[in-house]
Amino acid sequence: MTTSSENQELVVVTGASTGMGAATAHELARRGFHVLAGVRREADGEAIRTAGVEPFILDITDPEHVAALPSLVGNRTLRAVVNNAGVGGIGPVEVLPLDDWRRIFEVNLFGHIAVTKTLTPSLVRSRGRIVNISSLNGKFAMAGYGSYSASKFALEATSDALRQELTPHGVHVVVIEPGGVKTAMAGHGPAGVDHVAGKMTRDQSARYGGLLHAIPGHVAAFTAAGVTSEVAARTIARAVTDRRPRTRYTIGRPAAVLTRLTRILPDRALDRLAAADLGRHYPSA
């Protein structure tokens, strides 16, 4: 006798092509869920397809893709939506073009809001939960990462509002705050730096050249010290399955420590901490 996905609780995972998203889809399938795994390309879907993982094409910034989600879910029990899709953002606030800011917010914030709004009726019916993948950078901003941090700070605030709005209706809203995770996104750092450096004026190069030199090394070191996607996926799966989930889960020791420090240290002390962390990667001259 075959087991039909119609008899399994569903979880929708966005950004499931690689990294944490793919690992989370497989971890949840291992725990008995049927996972609708949103990917950008057919080849990505075939790479992650396995028992319990059903890939489908999803660009969370495409209104037609988002509008199709309720029909994919149908009348099945939707246990959770894991809003994991995301893009990085590197560059000083003065330099990064506004179009880049808009693209980052379209993916890291507005796309998640669109998915959440569309699937909220299904989640209310099933008393499910929303799991938003934020970041340590959603609590702790650093020079050169302003656009990415801003999008994650905004996601944190949106999650707090959602939690207050939906808790009375039986829907849990959970935020995940990873520190370093060994994913493919970290490899995009040098390309992002080149993109920004090519747009700087001579004066801007004098102001930010050292910072842009430091960022790729900082990203590489932070990622190398991080956890694997599989370890991160187990925490995300806990957020989906814990009977009484916490409002926030951190992933990795740096995230646990730094999110606590943001609550007790004054701003200037946090500035010095961030500057010292980046300073190790500046040119020596």
Residues with catalytic function: 148
- DSSP states of 223-239: HHTSEEHHHHHHHHHHH
- DSSP states of the chain: -PPPGGGS-EEEESS-SSHHHHHHHHHHHHTT-EEEEEESSHHHHHHH-BTTEEEEE--TT-HHHHHTHHHHHTTS-EEEEEE-------S-TTTS-HHHHHHHHIIIIIHHHHHHHHHHHHHHHHT-EEEEE--GGGT---TT-HHHHHHHHHHHHHHHHHHHHHGGGT-EEEEEEE--EE-GGGGGHHHHHHHHHTT--HHHHHHHHHHHHHHHHHHHHHHHTSEEHHHHHHHHHHHHH-SS--SEEEESHHHHHHHHHHHHS-HHHHHHHHHHHHHTTS---
Cβ pair 250, 134 in contact under 8 A = no
Residues with Cβ within 8 Å of 183's Cβ and at least 6 positions away in sequence, in order, are: 18, 19, 20, 223, 229
Q: Which of left, alpha, beta for 67 (phi over 0: left; psi -120 to 50: alpha)?
A: alpha
